[in-house]
Amino acid sequence: MAKNVAQKLIESHLVFGKMHPGEEIGLHIDQTLTQDATGTMVMLELEAMKLRKAKTEVSVQYVDHNQIQEDSKNPDDHLFLQSAAKRFGLWFSKAGNGISHQVHCERFAIPGKTLLGSDSHTPASGSLGLLAIGTGGLEVALAICGEPFLISMPKILGVKLTGKLPPWVSAKDVILEMLRRYNVFGGVGKIIEYYGPGLQNLTAMDRHVIANMGAELGATTTVFPSDAETKFFLKQMGREKDYKEIVADPGATYDEHGEIDLSKLEPLIALPSSPGNIKTVREVAGSPIYQSYIGSSANPCPRDFAMTALMFKGRKVAENVSLDVNPSSRQVLTFLIENDHLLSLTQAGARIHQAGCNGCIGMGQAPATKQISLRTVPRNFPGRSGTKEDRVYLCSPETAAASALTGVITDPRDLEKLYHMKYPHFQEPKTMTLVSDLIPPSPHEERNALIKGPNIAALPEFGELKDSFSVPVLLKMGDNISTDEISPAGAKVLPFRSNIPEISKFTFRPVDETFYHRAMKIRDTGSIVVGGKNYGQGSSREHAAISPRYLGVQAVFALSFARIHRKNLINFGVLPLIFENPKDYESISQDDIIELQGIRHALQIKEPLKARNKTKNEIYMLTHNFSPSELQSLLAGSLISLMHKKLHL
């Protein structure tokens, strides 16, 4: 039977289950990736499970999100993570070395391997022919312990690429076109695999841009073949020996189909405040901007920075604009220095920042209130930039640079007329100076002490799932609520990532600033929250599940859930339940008292739960479809409690 790339990768790592869409399967994990915003929780979980040494081929702990050192919290956590990497046998990437996804592609990603990361943009490594999946930190911790990763077998959406991108159009416009077609929920329950003759016109790093933002479609992951472009990239990185060809068999089929003619694309832009709010650049051209931001895991390639530098060579940034350049890795920064691109950007008036996630996650570079910020980042959820009333637009480096030059949103194709600017020619270098700041695992098992600063608190212990409760609806929300709105990021919040009681004070703050205080008053008796469609989209951060649980949230009722957040809720004993009748979502109100009885039995026999709205005397039927492993976690109250016994540690 002819197989596509995704099927080959899954089959070669299948531990149990059948590759039928919707059926639970277990996958062997070769590599893991954790970063500091989520990794502190993973390391605390490994400590709780008493792991001696990582059982994966490669596990890497990166420091890329929380690099601002305005007090001791972040540097204390960096020391903790370095001590944990030494304790558990992980590689350690120091602050300033770069964004995890870029560095992982440079140094560790190998075609044919599986990669599990506690960051939703982990699928970026799918650009090199890996099966790379983002998930909650607890599941990454289990993979480090040698446990298989459990997931429902996704459908595979095959997208055929033809043609070649025209001048001034780049890979970012490809993924924005996908978002224009499928929106932020169109990839849920699917792996997106790109194939076709157009692939030969996309470099490995072009593919990285597309694979990274597959997360914004809600996709399980994105997969590209490992072909000549992969081999060229690995040779650039001095790792040609890691190359392995992995391509779809002739006659391979897909569950669903799409097609994009690259030659017909034009510059696109996502308007506030969703990656799915897509327009052509010309539709919104002319609006004054405050900021253009180049970089992030969504546009981390040497080309992205070099194109910006070439466009600005001998020119100046518009006087009303801040051009922020955010190198993606120390190696990319070295490339920019060696080729005088950094000189061109500096002379043009750009602001150069350290290699890392930085402004993408709201850690600095926040825009002015209500001012337009064009960014090459993957997300523009409300307030994610660090400014509550932000106006963040997502676009390509070409569009961001053109707009920084003119001071208004500008289609880069118009530069030929405005400035007589020819489309800059960028040639991928055959070799690059290899630079990294990585500390390898110790060759010997060491039981060194974990270095814990005063801000690091032990994980809360959660009891078993209650069989009944009668609690208020503490908060009702709309569609597409993101994890940034449940547990916000930013310089004020993320330093508390290793202290659940403290970070819980920010829970739902972007939606309702009173939530924490109202929740604490009834924490012991509990509450529920209600959401619409695609609840929990965005970041994989577990805090968006742990903090509500800590505050007494027993269940979330919604019309649908994003994959990673649904699993995080289950892992920490919060019931994710779906309204059987969408009209019930319309009927239920904040402060209504909801009663559920016989919960445990109904879950075990797979019957819908009957919720009684005591305030309105209404009955809501709530559906669920928990796998056997998910049900075990829920009943135990958390996956950590369940795994203590299983791992015999």
DSSP code per residue over 56-81: SSEEEEE--S----SSSHHHHHHHHH
Render the burial of 151-168: b for 16+ CB within 10 Å, e for the rest: bbbbbbbbbbbeeebeeb
**Are domains 5-12+26-264 and 469-647 of this chain identical in fold?**
no
- pLDDT over 90 (residue 246): yes
CATH 3.30.499.10 fits 269-418, yes or no: yes
Tell me the CA end-to-end span of the chain in Å, nearest whole number.
42
pLDDT band at 646 (very low <50, low <70, confident <90, very high): low
Provide mean pLDDT across the span 525-544. Answer: 93
For residue 576, what pLDDT is reported? 97
**Run of H or E including 517:** helix 515-521
Q: Is the pLDDT of residue 97 over 80?
A: yes
Task: Parse the chain into domains and list their residue ranges.
Answer: 5-12+26-264, 269-418, 469-647
Q: CA-CA distance, 125 to 235, in Å (whole number)?
A: 16
Looking at the chain, the whole-number percentage of residues with pLDDT higher than 90 is: 82
In this prediction, residue 351 carries a pLDDT of 96
Provide the pLDDT for residue 261: 98
Q: Give mean pLDDT, residues 220-237.
A: 98
Backbone angles phi, psi at 16, to 5 degrees: -155, 165
What pLDDT sits at residue 160? 98
Task: Using CB atoms within 10 Å of the CB of residue 628, give its burial: 0 to 12 exposed, 13 to 18 middle, 19+ buried.
Answer: exposed
Residues 93 and 82: their CA atoms lie apart, in Å, by 9
Residue 620 has pLDDT above 70, yes or no: yes
Domain 469-647 CATH superfamily: Aconitase, domain 4 (3.20.19.10)
Q: How confident is the model at residue 54 (pLDDT cuts 50, 70, 90)?
A: very high
Give me the phi and psi of 639, to 5 degrees please: -70, -30
Over residues 301-312, the mean pLDDT reads: 96
Buried b / exposed e along 21-36 (16+ C-beta atoms within 10 A): eeebbbbebbbbbbbb
pLDDT at residue 48 in the model: 83
**Percentage, residues of the chain above pLDDT 70:** 99
**pLDDT-based confidence at 647, cuts 50/70/90?**
low
* Closest-CA residue to 549 (of 483, 509, 504, 517): 504
Query: According to the model, what pLDDT value does residue 649 have?
Result: 44
Of the segments 446-455, 457-466, 617-626, 635-644, which one has the largest average pLDDT value?
A: 617-626
Q: What is the pLDDT of residue 645?
A: 58
Taking the C-alpha atoms of residue 347 and residue 398, their distance in angstroms, rounded to an integer, is 19
Which pLDDT does position 492 carry in this prediction?
85
Segment 531-554 shows an average pLDDT of 94
Residue 460 is predicted with a pLDDT of 83
Nearest residue to 486 via CA among 426, 432, 558, 395:
558
171-209 pLDDT, tens digit per residue, is 999 999 999 999 999 999 999 999 999 999 999 999 999
From 149-158, 506-515, 634-643, the region with the lowest mean pLDDT: 634-643
List b or e across 530-562, with b for residues whose CB sees 16 or more CB atoms inside 10 angstroms. bbbbbbbbbbbbbbbbbbbbbbbbbbbbbbbbb
As to burial, measured by CB atoms within 10 angstroms (0-12 exposed, 13-18 middle, 19+ buried), residue 583 is exposed
Q: Which residue, among 278, 280, 259, has the nearest Cα to 179 in the 3D structure? A: 278
CA-to-CA dists, residue 360 to 121, 303, 380, angstroms: 12, 19, 9
Instruction: Report the pLDDT value the prediction gives residue 66, as an integer from 0 to 100.
Output: 83
Taking the C-alpha atoms of residue 448 and residue 509, their distance in angstroms, rounded to an integer, is 38
Q: Are strands 91-93 and 58-62 parallel, antiparallel or unpaired?
A: parallel
Q: Please report the pLDDT score of residue 359 as a whole number.
A: 83
Mean pLDDT value of segment 497-525: 94
- pLDDT, residue 458, reads 79
Predicted model pTM: 0.92
Average pLDDT in the chain:
94
Greater confidence (149 vs 72) lies with: 149
> Which CATH code for domain 5-12+26-264?
3.30.499.10
Distance CA 115, CA 57 (A): 10
* Helix, strand or coil, per DSSP, at residue 343: helix
Out of 131-140, 246-255, 268-277, 361-370, least confident range: 361-370
Tell which wins on pLDDT, 446 or 186: 186
Half-sphere exposure for 567 (CA within 13 Å, toward CB): 22
Range name among 264-278, 290-304, 629-643 with the lowest pLDDT average: 629-643
